[in-house]
Amino acid sequence: MKNILMIGAGRFGRYTSMKLHDLGHQILIVDKDEERINKVLPYVAEAQIGDSTDRAFMETLGIPDYDICFVAIGDDFLSSLETTFLLDELGAKMIISRATSGSQEKFLLRNGATAVVFPERQMGNWCAIRYSSDNISNYIELMDGYSIVEVDVPAAWDGKRIGELDVRRRYQITILGIKNHVMDMNIGTDTVLHLGQHMLILGKHENIQKSFAL
């Protein structure tokens, strides 16, 4: 379990807090808007109404005690930047800040952010890839051009063993798991594929596209 400081109770902050709660982490959420705070109260251990650009207020939070500080402010970049800078000055261990552009990312990284996330960009990429293909059921983008995708077993692979297909050599992809109703990661070269199943595939996205004509 980690102690999390979430600054900003808008949609991004709220949904991130809900998931962190599901994962068993303790969250303190801060926002200037009481109405937004009230929407997330069931998912956090503590909530405070306050201005994250106010040094005196932030000093009362004990910033070094948190494993991760999220700056989820979405509608006021100056406040996001000031908050990120202040968290860094007050000894935050890790600062994850939200941005909407590359220029914002540069400013945030120069002023203390450990990492920067682009929720709208990342969701846009996911939607474009997921829904522009008839074969993809799910998609996770990794680093350096790699992806994990959930795809249907092609008709040409029906009844064939994974080892027989030799996908690593022929397609430069790896089958991580097979899904009927639940995902089975305990597979090997003798595992037989069938139509109607889904496969969890790891590889560079261009290789996955070529392999399954996505």
In the chain, the domains with their CATH numbers are 3-117 (3.40.50.720), 122-212 (3.30.70.1450)
Could you report the average pLDDT of every consecutive run of 10 residues in the chain (214 residues)?
95 93 95 94 95 96 97 91 97 95 92 91 73 72 83 91 91 91 88 91 86 68
Closest CA to 71 of 29, 33, 21: 29
8 A C-beta contact, residue 204 and residue 172: yes
Q: Extract the runs of DSSP E, i.e. beta strands, from 62-187.
A: 68-71, 95-98, 115-117, 136-141, 146-152, 173-179, 183-184
**Tens digit of pLDDT for each residue in 181-205?**
888 899 988 999 999 899 999 988 8
Beta carbons within 10 angstroms of residue 9's beta carbon: 27
- The whole-number pLDDT of residue 127 equals 75
Q: For the segment 101-129, what is each residue's pLDDT rounded down to a tens digit?
A: 889 999 999 999 999 998 887 777 767 76
Task: Report the interhelical angle of 102-110 vs 77-89 (nearest 10°).
Answer: 20
Cα dihedral value 183, 202, 141, 27, nearest 10: 50
pLDDT at 147: 85
d(CA 202, CA 68): 29
Distance CA 125, CA 76 (A): 24
Q: What pLDDT does 130 receive?
A: 67
Nearest CA to 171 out of 134, 136, 203, 128 is that of: 203
- Give residue 141's pLDDT: 77
Q: How many whole angstroms from its chain centre is CA 13?
A: 13
What token pair was written down for 73? 């402010």
User: For residue 134, what pLDDT is reported?
Assistant: 65
d(CA 54, CA 86): 9
**pLDDT recorded at residue 138:** 80
Question: Does the pTM exceed 0.95?
Answer: no
> φ, ψ for residue 112 (rounded to 5)?
115, -15
